[in-house]
Amino acid sequence: MSTSVSTATLRGRDLLSVADLSADEVERLFERAAALKTEDHARRTSGGLVATPLAGRTLAMLFQKPSLRTRVTFEAGMNQLGGHAIYLTEDVVMGARESVRDVARNLERFVDAIVARTGPHEVVVELAAQASIPVINGLTLREHPCQALADLFTMRERFGDLRGRVLAFVGDGNNVYHSLALLGAMLGLEVRLATPDDYGPNPRIVERATELAAASGGRLVFETDPTTAVRGADVVYTDAWTSMGQEAETEARRDAFARFRVDDALMEAAGPGAVAMHCLPAHRGEEITSSVMDGPRSIIWDQSENRLHVQKALLAELLAA
């Protein structure tokens, strides 16, 4: 399904990249997520009635990669909004058992939207091109847009205005960094990356993020020394050194990233106001220590919870009448 960026409505649109959105559209998503979060907390404490804008709607969740947060938050989110989600496992292997085109053309007849969690980014691009219903990128090797939206929403809760804030990403220039760089640049942040040589991000993503930063007053910074990168940062962010599909590189990556662990010393170097974030799952003792994850400067569990609220806002914007 072809998409065009417009501030008029998100209804019927795809979300393949955070760059598919405008800053105004992100702000609208954040406002709705905040309202839904307040409503959800009230439901949990008082048991009050909540709105069900997606009653009768169905989401197909097409997952070729393992998941805890993405699966549970999308499935629970659809349920809480009055809709239903169907989890499709690797039994539906696109391109092997059935072509991506045929999967898309079947699903568009059955459901109202698709969230796909896969490897090659081209899979979600083809799904969107072939399906007449919204397609949401639940993770590809290129981007993780829902994660970045939840992360920047969490920073907004913590710090208020995001413009000029500093997010220092310590580790691999991977899909999570790509989405954070794009969204952070769009919203006027300084996004830093500390990574070893040969583990940098996709140059095309950097080029696009640089364009967005030029328009918003944001900035991209690249370092090879993590201590330099985190100095004065508001957020010290990390991710697993070895992503899904890179298991054969595990030992080499442990050696390359040994200096890039987020521990108490690195948090001290960042400064007293810095907080720690991690998209999870975490390998405790590798890219981050338990003392940081479970310590008073961690907002990791807040960002995990916010996947639910931000994705509910996204689903409501894409699907509600």
By annotation, the residues acting in catalysis are: 117, 144, 147, 239, 279, 307
Evaluate whether 52 touches 81 at the Cβ level (below 8 Å): yes
What single-letter DSSP state applies at residue 296? T
Token pair in block for residue 160: 């208020």
On the question of a cis peptide bond just before residue 120, with omega within 30 degrees of 0, the verdict is: no
Cβ atoms within 10 A of the Cβ of 37, count? 19
SS3 of residue 263 by DSSP: coil
For CA atoms 143, 73, 61, 82, the dihedral sign is negative
Give me the sheet containing 84-88, strands edge to edge. Answer: 84-88, 58-63, 113-117, 135-139
